[in-house]
């Protein structure tokens, strides 16, 4: 893998991790189109996710400090932040169970581009449903343990390449009546434990990286970080303006184009 390929894949990851169009799906399709691409396990993909994790930390650092210090604070905001911290922990449980029990199965799907394309079509459908049937506008203070378990389960299933993690989790919360900005913030914060856990599971694969490729992998990670910061800001604006359906059209376009391309290639 070259520096250029790593940087382009990093930019692709940084953009599609936060825009609701499936980063895993785009990476899987792009990597299938690169003749010289190879990686031990999913280590390169995980490192790109680590880059976007750092982007989330950088963008929401005030929220994170508030959440992490809330157990020891006694100001007016602390009770809501303690509740959110508990909901993030609770939501991480189903994600961890699904990830640990189905890891090998989901990794195998990355080599099946037709399934990735079908999942992109499903992602588009979820976005349209969320945009059309979103109901009330509950804030963080009104979120419940049912919200946390629902979105945690959806996040676990979003390991399937082609299912957008941000898109599916935000859509799930919108359909449960949570307002858009709260849904997006909770979705991004909930991703941090999942990405950190996936990185820990990939440590054994990191040891297999050739020394000459370490700068290449780091270049991709840096590109994902910088692009991710820009796209978080973009998505927060999109959520406020209720424009998710445009991403649905994009997912359908990529999914259908991919189905045609990979079907013709198989003939």
Sequence-distant (≥ 6) Cβ neighbours of residue 266 within 8 angstroms: none
pLDDT (average), residues 221-227: 91
CA dist 64 and 92 (Å) reads: 16
Sequence-distant (≥ 6) Cβ neighbours of residue 135 within 8 angstroms: 175, 177
pLDDT of residue 137: 79
pLDDT 10s digits, 239-258:
776 677 888 998 999 889 98
For the chain, give the mean pLDDT.
84
Is the per-residue pLDDT at 107 higher than 80?
no
pLDDT (average), residues 103-131: 84
pLDDT of residue 152: 95
Instruction: State the CB neighbour count (10 A cutoff) for residue 206.
Output: 16
Instruction: State the CB neighbour count (10 A cutoff) for residue 196.
Output: 14
Is the per-residue pLDDT at 131 higher than 90?
no
pLDDT-derived band at 206 (thresholds 50, 70, 90) equals low
Domain count, the chain: 1
pLDDT 10s digits, 63-72:
999 999 999 9
pLDDT 10s digits, 21-60:
887 777 777 777 776 665 545 677 778 878 888 888 998 8
pLDDT (average), residues 168-174: 92
Expressed as residue numbers, the domain containing 115 is: 3-266
pTM of the model: 0.81
């Amino acid at each position: 893998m070259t520096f250029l390929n790593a940087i382009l894949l990093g930019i692709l990851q940084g953009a599609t991790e936060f825009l609701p169009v499936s980063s895993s799906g785009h990476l899987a399709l792009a990597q299938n189109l690169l003749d010289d691409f190879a990686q031990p396990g999913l280590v390169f993909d995980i490192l790109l996710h680590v880059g976007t994790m750092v982007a989330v930390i950088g963008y929401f650092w005030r929220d994170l400090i508030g959440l992490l210090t809330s157990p020891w604070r006694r100001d007016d905001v602390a009770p809501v932040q303690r509740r959110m911290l508990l909901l993030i922990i609770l939501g991480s449980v189903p994600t961890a169970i699904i990830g640990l029990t189905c890891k090998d199965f989901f990794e195998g799907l990355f080599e099946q581009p037709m399934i990735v394309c079908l999942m992109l079509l499903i992602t588009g459908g979820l976005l349209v449903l969320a945009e059309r049937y979103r109901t009330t506008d509950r804030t963080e203070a009104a979120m419940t343990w049912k919200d946390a378990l629902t979105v945690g389960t959806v996040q676990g299933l979003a390991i399937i390449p082609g299912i957008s993690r941000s898109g599916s989790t935000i859509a799930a919360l919108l359909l449960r009546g949570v307002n858009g900005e709260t849904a997006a913030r909770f979705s991004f914060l909930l991703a941090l434990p999942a990405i950190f856990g996936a990185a820990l599971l990939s440590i054994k694969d990191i040891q297999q990286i050739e020394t000459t490729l370490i700068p290449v992998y780091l270049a991709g990670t840096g590109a994902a970080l910088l692009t991710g910061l820009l796209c978080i800001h973009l998505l927060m604006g999109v959520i406020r303006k209720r424009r998710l359906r445009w991403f649905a059209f994009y997912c359908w376009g990529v999914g259908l184009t991919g189905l045609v391309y990979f079907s013709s290639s198989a003939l």
